[in-house]
Structure 1
Amino acid sequence: MVNSKNNSPPFKSISRRLIMYIVLCSSLVTLFLTIFQLQRDYETDIAEQDKALEQIRQVHLKTITQGLWATDTVLLQTIIEGLINIRDVNYAAIIDDKEILLSIGDKPIKDTGTKSFPLQYRYSGVVDEIGTLVIAIDGDAAFRRVLDRALIILISNTFKTALVITFTIIIFHLMVSRHLTNIIDYLAALNIPQSYAPLDLKRNREKIKSFDELDLVVNSINESSDRISKTFAMEQEIKEREYAEALLRKSEARLVQILDYSPFGVSIVSLKDRKQLYYNRRFTEMFAIPDDVTEIETVISESYLAPADRDEIWALFQKNGAIDGFEQQRIRTDKTIWWAYADWTPYVFAGEDAVMVWLSDVTKHRQAEEELKQLNEQKNKFFSIIAHDLKGPFNSLLGFSSLLSVKGSNIDPEKTVQYGIAVHNSATQVFKLLENLLDWSLLQMDRMEFEISPVSVEDIITENLDLFQPTAEEKSIRLKADCQKDIIVMADNYMLDTIIRNLILNAIKFTPLNGEVTITSRENGNWAEIEVSDTGVGIPSSKATRLFLLSEKTSTLGTSGETGTGLGLPLCKDLVERQGGQITVKSVKGKGSSFQIKLPLKPL
């Protein structure tokens, strides 16, 4: 390829020589005719431009105003595209408050014929100027067309010009046209994506020692083809990249649709500034985030029990690149605390490095683990009770029964009676223990059948007072009842009887000789309040809070050495709560204790 800019021979223009021949042959003959014709054409072109502006005013201005008022962008785009097709209109724009809303064409650097039309809209009787239509007409176009026509006019007006043109055509063909044909054929066969040989017109360079326009055209075509080929390759690369990005966006859109209906809480957080790029509905439900909250980052930051927890998690993620599951307590906006199981995975979202956080609410799972732990503790308590509390009574039973069986005939009657009483007491203790163990195990296995029905509180209390009257008389304890008449509660008869029996037995056990046990019952609103109080030894405050816990060993000897199982009060608490009631205790060391039960009254 020959470079016209580097070491080029002197340039001789073909057009300059051609013009010189035309001027010499035709200037005298066609001068006056050419001037007249050009003047007339120029005036006609100017009139056509004025007519085009008036047509815009009369035909298009109202439609543009209505489209701008209705913000019909498609209509406005269509209209200004039509305006740009009007002869000599190079630029059209719609301007609102000095801001270009729509434009087409190249805004002229030099103002040779710019016209502005105010866009006025009448609304409720008031004319409001809502914008401006700007039309740029090339004022020099008429002059250029006159110059373009000059050659045609000169050729058509005189025979001399025709002869000159014929001569010129022959020369031009020999010098230019045949080469232009080769150029056209070359361009027609040019395939940009494929490699190609540079254009060569095969001119005799020995006769033509200098560069002319054809050489410049050839050089320009070869250089342009090379640039176009590179541009095409770049455009193809850009299209492929855009296609890949479009596929990625489509994939992300599908992912978002799936995540929107995911049962897991999902959040995508930017690694750059820790902003929430995406979160689904389940995620907001987990944190109880209202729909009108926009600063979700603040809510998430405040959901950690300690501010340092968040920084520790981010530090762990940055260190390991991912976090494969961990459990952590979080706080909702309603101040409730829940357990979250989270996975942190690196992810690229919308072209930005991010982390995808998967959350599951495992609060119920944690609660189930805690319940299982309590059940294990209860199981261990059972084994402890069985191992400890059954061992003593059975040792007594075995010991005294062995004495009676081996030496019964040689033991005096008074000792035999004492041994019999000891055997009876041990058997009674074993029976109480087994009875409570059986009730407790049935409750824990949900095997205890009960039926909530109307039950007379007074009848239950009277029956138990009669039952324990002999036991109380052995310790000279007075049993008193102060019951409001006709109190009917909704409870299970057997359960309520078991509760009252255990509380009275406890009160007698810890009341010294000549003490007093009082049972009262009263209605209070929709509740019946039953109270069993004694004048016994009382309970220390540190121990009173643990009386109803099976995991705590609270059983102690009574005032006359009575033993217990430690199951009575936890059993009472469970039975009361299963019937929809409450049980509490008040006690003063050395002054006695009072156990209060609240059960729902029978509806009227």
Structure 2
Amino acid sequence: MAKVYNKLHAVKFLKKSYSLKFLFISFIGIHIPLIGIIIFLLSTDAGLEKSTLIIITLILTLVATASTLFILNSLIKPLIYSKNALQDYISEKKLPNLPTHYKDEVGVLMQLIQQNILQLDSLLKENQEITALLSHNLRAPLLQIKGLCNVLEIQKTENKDIVDKIDDITSTQLKNIDELLLNLKYHHIDDETENKAVDLKKLVKKTIEEVKAEASKKDIKIEEHFCAEDAINLTNEHKLGLVIQNLLSNAIKFSYPKGNVIVALQPYQNKFKIEVKDHGLGFTPDLAKKLFTNSASVGRRGTNGEPTMGLGLNLSKKTIEQMGGKLKAHSDGENKGATFSLII
């Protein structure tokens, strides 16, 4: 870090203000000629001609100007370091090593750049690990399907057991791929998409229709409990629809066959609350603490052995919070069902 900036930061009254450092150096630079002339006149008794006084003034002014520009140029080096750190990470993925102990505005800027680049790099590495895991998990079942198809081709006969295995493996893979695509949608939704007035009743009904085929496989009934009045909200329809779909899919996944899922829409403290309630696996208080984390270890298989990545709820919560809402979860315990409340 520039020595000038470091030394000025050690001055107590300049410690917390970057702009004050600039003003202080500028003030000193402007007054160097005046101070120099006063000192020179006080130190000599000889009378000076006007030309001599003008020459001395010009020399002091040039020295003051050069010194001030040099110090100010050194003072902006922390900004240059910050810019270079961002460019190095963007172009070469080189992690910065900016100082984080300075207290003024530029010090806070360097601290934020350092922290955010480290967090971004950690997130990118985590996504790479997840991608590698998904690639491995998706590849293995496809190889199994290929092997079973080869067996069918060799036998040239109907074999119900093998066909059933192919169906089961394929169904599992389709669910994995659907969840992967859902997660990718969460990550790539345009945050700048303009919010528009959305009819929440229509949106929830539409989402219910989309998951009915999934529910019918387990003979699960979806009940709708909607408020009588209109439910119009200014929100991002696409984002909200993805979150509701994820909550409904989870409710179906963790419900027992021939059970029911209740979807409620009601006014709530000048907002709206959408509840998705099931009577399935539920969760313990210990699991509740990890429910909205990004750990894949939180994921559990559904009541029919449906796979899960354990990432959907974490992404749903982040999405809703970006929209200014809240996502909460409640369960009375294991095998006592769960209720997810979405407030927007």
Shorter-chain TM-score: what band?
0.5 to 0.7
Letter in 2 for 1:465: I
**Partner of 1:374 in structure 2?**
119
**Partner of 1:521 in structure 2?**
265
Letter in 2 for 1:482: H
Change (3 A) 1:280 1:395: closer
Letter in 1 for 2:101: Y
Determine the C-alpha separation between the residues in 2 that align with 1:373 and 1:280.
29
Decide whether the 8 Å contact of 2:296 with 2:309 is kept in 1: no
Decide whether the 8 Å contact of 1:511 with 1:534 is kept in 2: yes
Letter in 2 for 1:580: G
User: What aligned pairs does 1:294-373 form with structure 2 within 5 A after superposition?
Assistant: 341-342=101-102, 362-373=107-118
Determine the C-alpha separation between the residues in 2 that align with 1:571 and 1:389.
17
Determine the C-alpha separation between the residues in 2 that align with 1:455 and 1:520.
17
Decide whether the 8 Å contact of 1:340 with 1:359 is kept in 2: no
- Secondary structure of 1:595's partner? strand
Determine the C-alpha separation between the residues in 2 that align with 1:365 and 1:504.
43
Determine the C-alpha separation between the residues in 1 that align with 2:100 and 2:170.
57
Change (3 A) 1:474 1:430: closer
User: What aligned pairs does 1:395-474 form with structure 2 within 5 A after superposition?
Assistant: 395-408=140-153, 409-443=155-189, 447=190, 450-474=193-217
Letter in 1 for 2:264: T
Change (3 A) 1:579 1:423: same
**Partner of 1:533 in structure 2?**
277
Determine the C-alpha separation between the residues in 2 that align with 1:482 and 1:560.
27
Decide whether the 8 Å contact of 1:394 with 1:426 is kept in 2: no
User: Displacement of 1:395 after TM fit?
Assistant: 1.4
Change (3 A) 1:416 1:340: closer
Determine the C-alpha separation between the residues in 2 that align with 1:595 and 1:450.
26
Determine the C-alpha separation between the residues in 2 that align with 1:536 and 1:285.
60
Decide whether the 8 Å contact of 1:491 with 1:579 is kept in 2: yes
- Secondary structure of 1:596's partner? strand
- CA-based RMSD of the aligned residues comes to 3.3
Decide whether the 8 Å contact of 2:100 with 2:108 is kept in 1: yes
**Partner of 1:555 in structure 2?**
299
Determine the C-alpha separation between the residues in 2 that align with 1:406 and 1:281.
76
Decide whether the 8 Å contact of 1:516 with 1:535 is kept in 2: yes
Decide whether the 8 Å contact of 1:381 with 1:551 is kept in 2: no
Determine the C-alpha separation between the residues in 1 that align with 2:160 and 2:16.
80
Identity of aligned residues (%): 23
More strand by percentage: 1
Decide whether the 8 Å contact of 2:294 with 2:314 is kept in 1: yes
User: Displacement of 1:384 after TM fit?
Assistant: 2.9
Change (3 A) 1:502 1:583: same
| Superimposed CA distance per residue, residues 47-88 of structure 1 (whole angstroms, 9 cap, x where no aligned partner) | xxxxxxxxxxxxxxxxxxxxxxxxxxxxxxxxxxxxxxxxxx
Segments of 5+ residues of structure 2 without an aligned counterpart are 21-98
Asked if residue 589 in structure 1 is aligned to residue 333 in structure 2, the reply is: yes
Determine the C-alpha separation between the residues in 1 that align with 2:315 and 2:157.
42
Determine the C-alpha separation between the residues in 2 that align with 1:539 and 1:364.
42
Runs of 4+ aligned residues of structure 1 deviating over 6 Å after TM superposition are none
| Superimposed CA distance per residue, residues 123-171 of structure 1 (whole angstroms, 9 cap, x where no aligned partner) | xxxxxxxxxxxxxxxxxxxxxxxxxxxxxxxxxxxxxxxxxxxxxxxxx
Determine the C-alpha separation between the residues in 2 that align with 1:389 and 1:367.
32
**Partner of 1:23 in structure 2?**
none
- Secondary structure of 1:341's partner? coil
Decide whether the 8 Å contact of 1:456 with 1:487 is kept in 2: yes
Correspondence for 1:569 among 313, 324, 342: 313
Determine the C-alpha separation between the residues in 1 that align with 2:108 and 2:331.
37
Determine the C-alpha separation between the residues in 1 that align with 2:179 and 2:263.
24
Determine the C-alpha separation between the residues in 1 that align with 2:241 and 2:129.
27
- Secondary structure of 2:132's partner? helix
Letter in 2 for 1:578: Q
Asked if residue 509 in structure 1 is aligned to residue 247 in structure 2, the reply is: no
**Partner of 2:288 in structure 1?**
544
User: Displacement of 1:562 after TM fit?
Assistant: 0.7
Decide whether the 8 Å contact of 1:393 with 1:426 is kept in 2: no
Decide whether the 8 Å contact of 1:522 with 1:529 is kept in 2: yes
Change (3 A) 1:519 1:366: farther
TM-score scaled by length of structure 1:
0.39
Segments of 5+ residues of structure 1 without an aligned counterpart are 1-258, 269-278, 287-338, 343-357, 600-604
User: What aligned pairs does 1:28-43 form with structure 2 within 5 A after superposition?
Assistant: none
Determine the C-alpha separation between the residues in 2 that align with 1:546 and 1:285.
45
Letter in 1 for 2:278: D
Decide whether the 8 Å contact of 1:546 with 1:552 is kept in 2: no
| Superimposed CA distance per residue, residues 266-293 of structure 1 (whole angstroms, 9 cap, x where no aligned partner) | 645xxxxxxxxxx25956999xxxxxxx
Decide whether the 8 Å contact of 1:519 with 1:532 is kept in 2: yes
Decide whether the 8 Å contact of 2:17 with 2:105 is kept in 1: no
Q: Rg: which structure is higher?
A: 1
User: Displacement of 1:483 after TM fit?
Assistant: 1.2
- The structure showing larger relative contact order (alpha-carbon pairs under 8 Å, at least 6 residues apart) is 2
User: Displacement of 1:494 after TM fit?
Assistant: 1.3
Determine the C-alpha separation between the residues in 1 that align with 2:343 and 2:274.
7
Decide whether the 8 Å contact of 2:148 with 2:166 is kept in 1: no
**Partner of 2:30 in structure 1?**
none
**Partner of 1:598 in structure 2?**
343
**Partner of 2:132 in structure 1?**
387
Determine the C-alpha separation between the residues in 1 that align with 2:9 and 2:322.
36
Decide whether the 8 Å contact of 2:327 with 2:340 is kept in 1: yes
- Secondary structure of 1:553's partner? helix
Decide whether the 8 Å contact of 1:528 with 1:598 is kept in 2: yes
